[in-house]
Chain A
Amino acid sequence: MNIRLHGLTTILSALVVFTAPTAVLAQDNLVTGEPITTVNSGTPGKGGEVTFTVTRDITNWNVTSALGNNAVVRTVTLPIVPSAFMVQPDFTLKMNTDLLESAELTSTDPQTVVYRIREDAVWSDGVPITGDDFIYFWKTQNRRDCPECLINASDGHDFIETLEQDETGKVVTATFSEPFVGWQGLFMFLYPAHLAEKHGDIAESYNNFLSNEVPTWSGGPYMVESFDPGQLVTLVPNPKWYGEKGPYLDKLKFRIITDSTQQLTALENGEVDVIYPQGATQDMVEQAAGLDYLGIDFQMNPAANWYFMGLNSKAGPMSDIALRKAVLTAIDAGDLKAKTADPYLRNWPHMGSVMFLPNQAGYADRRGARGYGTGDVEKAKGILSEAGYKLSGGSLLDPSGKPVSTLRLGFPPGYPAANDMARLITGYIAPLGLKTDLLTGPNATADYLLSGNFDLYLSYFSQQVFPAVKAGQIFLRDAGQNYFGFNDPKIEEIIGKAAAASSIEESAAILSEADELAMDYAALFPIYQLPTALIYKEAILNLRDNPNQLGPAYNTAEWGLAE
């Protein structure tokens, strides 16, 4: 679902309504009316500079490594590191036609994918991009050839049993040990094997050369000219760029401003040209709206990150499913959104699923279908009464007659909306006789979520293009993000089938059933998506919000200035 067309118009209305008493907003700069994948399109001229703001220093250049896997390294290295497929702003995957002629699923048993690399695709030193680079990357990620490689996640590369290339090196064949629906998400980043082999074995080159050394190489439209740690990364065009378009800019700079509240000031003062702050706030949107006199536009979209409240089904009072369902029923999701999002994100979509975003195939409002989030206190009391709970003197007594303990409701710092949500949820469940202790702090995630020392926890998950892959990280019993105690063999079986489907549509259809079961489990309550805000000088063409993990730098070859 692309809500830009009507969503942004209503955001515009919201800005007028909610800020009219204190500020006169100039709304002309909120870019509306075009599809998210083509907004701000144009043919730029050659030359000029663009300075893009990023929010943290770069201490590791390897975006696939555990320490380099963050939004800033992704943004800065996307113009350098070639990818087989790229996630588009509408959350679909598109083959990188600059790098590949084709990538085809040629067999389903065993699953086989054939990649054909373009003849003219070369690294910046003129060495062709070949199957060697695919094989090197696969070996670093599959957890078999290089267990010492400090990777972030194998992302499915471990499903590839063999990876071979023909004598030209331009045809690469991947044979999978088991079917994997997410094959298009593989080889998202490729590194130069011919340079890596000069820097020790696989582990040494991966953990040191690719991670700690500023890249002097490139397989993308730009390459690093200089790096001032903590301050600035300057890219210049890659003279060996083989792509169809661009690069148009003489220099593409990434200025590091770690305090996101200072980024807008720097934009207003002309020190930077683009900001993409993490966690757009109402203040920021209002300020951006007032900058059209400087020729500043902005785009806003629902991100791939979505707020949730998790319920600890492993221990404590929330281990009783009746209490979990009663709590979820008593929460008024409409009011929650109206008070924490709508003031500046009017008509922001609800999340009614724990496995799909509203714009993904397979999505349905399964939350509302169960009566969760309706704020129906009487229905919630009925659930409790049926399960043997009693309300006595304003406190809830469990079926054995003991008072239900005060619920420990945690949330991470730095998210004003989460703070507000925690207080509102406390109010929604108070009529059930439930009280909360609000827990937060710099180490909240480690102290409460990771240690299991909570009853309720507010945070957000980052959705992936392949919902079955993400579901495998949350809902399997031994999954790394199964913080809430999902323990249902049927859910696991369905996720396994969905991950092995032959297409994303078939996978979504299968996974829908697991979504229903996970909703029945009542340990995860989806709320709504976080917002993204791309604020930039209107002279920059082809710059557009890509509200998923890749961010706006997915198409830097096309960026340029209007003539």
Chain B
Amino acid sequence: MLAYLVRRLLVMIPMMLIASFLMFVVISFSGDPLAGLKTMQPPPPPEVLHAMAVKLRLDQPLLDRYWMWLSGLFVGDFGPSIHNIDIGAELVKRLGVSLRLLALGIVLAFLMAVAASVIGAVLQFSWADHIISFVAVAMISMPVFWLALQLKRLAISINQELGFRLLYTSGDGAGMTASTPWDRVLLLIGVLALPTIALSMQAFGTWSRYGRVALIDALNSEYVKLARAKGLSETRVVLAHGLRTSLAPMLTVVAAGGAVILGESVVTETVFQWRGMGDLLVTGIQNNDVYVVLGWLLVAGLIIMVFNLIADILYAVLDPRIRYER
């Protein structure tokens, strides 16, 4: 296993290098970083545009720019931003905001998916199974932004019924204050509730379908039949024997799905106005801030590789039949 891990980590280095070069070339040709300035009314004087071009290294050949960017990464310099953003510090800050949302979304989706899997498998083809299946498929089919907008409408209605603002439709809580500890708890719930639900629903739908099938398979296996024949309680059979086995494929789907959720967080953060990684990417693209976009892609690429690695490791840990030694 250790050798496998080392091999995988070593392979990641050339993969990241190739990915970084491709990203750099594509982003460099994706538009003029100074277009926003040039179309201002009136545009800035030519000497200002020239100074900005020099700052963004646009006066340098493409390969030189790539090398300057790549070598800068090793000392924590992610390159110049047209808007004077310290890209490295911003990535760390934004990642923290996004991870808060991602972690909560993944935990919520996973817990709901496990519960739905158990109900669906144990009560297969019952009305409860049908309802859960319908909800799961609906969540898979529903675009995240649309769900988010409906949640916002629902939140407004709930707040109006309650007569006070429990749920917030925008912002990650920064700049909001609460006077008592109870108010702080309410504020935290109010800020987190909608984006977490919006982010977790699609994953819940997908994971619960995997979980249901895996658990049905497990419950129909010979060793479960043996457990039942030995007189174990149905609860113990389902939880200790069936669920444990079915968690293996489910966890690997969850690990691999982390990257998908990262993508969905871009939409969720935009709709709910969280200043996380998603917002950083969107504003970076809008501003043609090429080094911000490059930094984002680099971090996102790394996260996806790590998630995939975790998925492979989980396969081995949870399923003893899988071994990576040659």
Residues of A within 8 A of B (CB): 56-57, 59-60, 66-67, 69, 143, 147-148, 150-154, 211-212, 226, 228-232, 234, 255-259, 262, 265-266, 268-271, 442-443, 445-447, 449-450, 461-462, 473, 480-481
Contact = CB atoms under 8 A, between A and B. Distances in A.
Interface stretch (B78-86, B238-246, B252-260, B296-304): B78-86
A214 to B, nearest CB: 13
Interface residues of B, number: 44
A269 B168 contact: yes
Contacts of A228: 174-175
B285 to A, nearest CB: 7
A345 to B, nearest CB: 23
A231 B42 contact: no
Contacts of B152: 262, 265, 269
13 contacts: A60-B83, A66-B52, A148-B51, A151-B44, A231-B171, A257-B273, A258-B282, A258-B283, A259-B270, A266-B170, A442-B285, A446-B35, A480-B42
Interface in B1-53: 30-32, 35, 37-45, 47-48, 51-52
B44 A226 contact: no
A559 B273 CA distance: 27
A269 B44 contact: no
B41 A271 contact: no
Interface SS, A side: loop
A271 B43 contact: no
Contacts of A447: 31
Top 3 A-B pairs, shortest CB-CB distance = A232-B175, A446-B35, A230-B275
A256 B172 CA distance: 11
B113 interface: no
B134 to A, nearest CB: 28
A462 B41 contact: yes
A148 B50 CA distance: 11
Contacts of A256: 273
A266 B31 contact: no
A269 B44 CA distance: 40
B35 A258 contact: no
Contacts of A262: 152, 169-170, 271, 273
A270 B169 CA distance: 10
A447 B153 CA distance: 39
A50 to B, nearest CB: 15
B44 A271 contact: no
Nearest to B39: A445
Contacts of B175: 226, 228, 231-232, 234, 255
Contact of B169 (A57, A60, A150, A265): A265
B279 interface: yes
A446 B40 contact: no
Contacts of B275: 57, 229-231
A269 B170 CA distance: 10
B48 A151 contact: yes
A481 B45 CA distance: 12
A143 B43 contact: no
A313 to B, nearest CB: 20
Given A268-B156, A270-B165, 12 more contacts: A66-B37, A148-B51, A150-B52, A152-B48, A228-B175, A231-B275, A262-B273, A271-B168, A443-B35, A446-B38, A461-B41, A480-B43
B166 to A, nearest CB: 10
Contact of A57 (B42, B82, B167, B283): B283
Nearest to B273: A257
B159 interface: yes
B31 A151 contact: no
B45 A67 contact: no
